[in-house]
């Protein structure tokens, strides 16, 4: 029993996407974000990849559902669960081999959800200074939370500048008259992000 568990842990430890995979899947995530931007939606691209196959992808659905928790990652996680149930696969053993590719750092809520589902690796573009759960506001990804799933590894900074530019464009067009104050605050934080990342 003990050795079995040890072996399992080791395989999770070794599970990490290659440079080539990161390049390829992040390009897909950026295409999604661009498409969202062209449709006037929050430009965040998000993909869940299992054995070189997309098993979940999401876009922000907060407005149409009136549910503020419908971030792209939560939508994508629902698709992963559906896929597991349809394929009669064990959720935990699938999730342990999934990498999330997302253009912006997941927020605190989404980071906790990723932990609860034992997703081991998250590859993201730019930091999320307002809500980030992988170190920007709180570090949920590596916090000592024994009852909140498993910690995950973050690979950050991939095409960060581009991700920020898209968010800036979005908040500019969303908010030409400064109607929604939190959006102008967001623009301010994004500019700060840009500044601190020395890009």
Choice among 73, 96, 105, 129 that is catalytic:
73
The distance of closest approach from Cβ of residue 95 to another protein in the complex, given in angstroms and rounded to an integer, is 9
Segment contacting Zn ion by CB under 5 A, of 14-22, 39-47, 65-73, 171-179: 65-73
The distance of closest approach from Cβ of residue 6 to Zn ion in the complex, given in angstroms and rounded to an integer, is 30
Catalytic residue check, 4: no
Closest CB to another protein among 16 and 175?
175
Closest CB to another protein among 46 and 140?
140
By CB under 5 A, residue 71 contacts Zn ion: yes
By CB under 5 A, residue 107 contacts Zn ion: yes
The distance of closest approach from Cβ of residue 23 to another protein in the complex, given in angstroms and rounded to an integer, is 30
H-type helices in 98-175, by residue range? 108-116, 160-174
The distance of closest approach from Cβ of residue 125 to Zn ion in the complex, given in angstroms and rounded to an integer, is 14
Q: What are phi and psi of 84, to 5 degrees?
A: -60, -45
By CB under 5 A, residue 110 contacts Zn ion: yes
Residues that bind another protein (CB under 8 A): 61, 64-70, 74, 77-78, 81, 91, 107-109, 111-113, 115-117, 129-131, 133, 137-138, 140, 143, 145-148, 182, 185
Closest CB to Zn ion among 75 and 160?
75
Closest CB to another protein among 37 and 111?
111
- Give how far the C-alpha of residue 90 lies from the chain's centroid of Cα atoms, to the nearest Å: 22
- 3-state SS string for the chain: CHHHHHHHHHHHHHCCCCHHHHHHHHHHHHHHHHHHHHCCCCCCCEEEEECCEEEEECCCCHHHHCCCCCCHHHHHHHHHHHHHHHCCCCHHHHHCCEEEEEEECCEHHHHHHHHHCCCCEEEEEECCCCCECECCCCECCCCCCCCCCCCCEEEECCCHHHHHHHHHHHHHHHCCCCCCHHHHHHHHHHHHHHHHCCC
Paired with 53 in beta bridges are: 50
Segment contacting Zn ion by CB under 5 A, of 10-18, 57-65, 99-107, 189-197: 99-107
Residues contributing to the site for Zn ion (CB under 5 A): 71, 107, 110
């Amino acid at each position: 029993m003990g050795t079995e568990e040890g072996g399992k842990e080791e395989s999770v430890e070794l599970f990490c996407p290659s440079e080539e995979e990161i390049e390829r899947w992040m390009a897909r995530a950026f295409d999604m974000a661009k498409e969202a931007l062209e449709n006037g939606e929050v430009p965040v691209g998000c993909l869940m990849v299992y054995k070189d196959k997309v098993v979940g992808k999401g876009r922000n659905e907060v407005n149409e559902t009136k549910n503020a928790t419908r971030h792209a990652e939560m939508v994508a996680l629902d698709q992963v669960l559906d896929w597991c149930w349809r394929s009669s696969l064990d959720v935990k053993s699938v999730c342990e081999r999934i990498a999330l590719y997302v253009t912006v750092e997941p927020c605190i809520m989404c980071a906790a959800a990723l932990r609860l589902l034992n997703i081991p690796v998250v590859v993201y573009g730019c930091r999320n200074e307002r809500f980030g759960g992988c170190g920007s506001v709180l570090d949920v990804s590596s916090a000592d939370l024994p009852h909140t799933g498993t910690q995950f590894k973050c690979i950050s900074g991939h095409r960060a500048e581009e991700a920020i530019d898209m968010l800036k464009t979005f908040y500019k067009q969303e908010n030409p008259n400064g109607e929604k104050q939190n959006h102008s605050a967001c623009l301010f934080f994004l500019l700060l992000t840009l500044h601190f990342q020395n890009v």
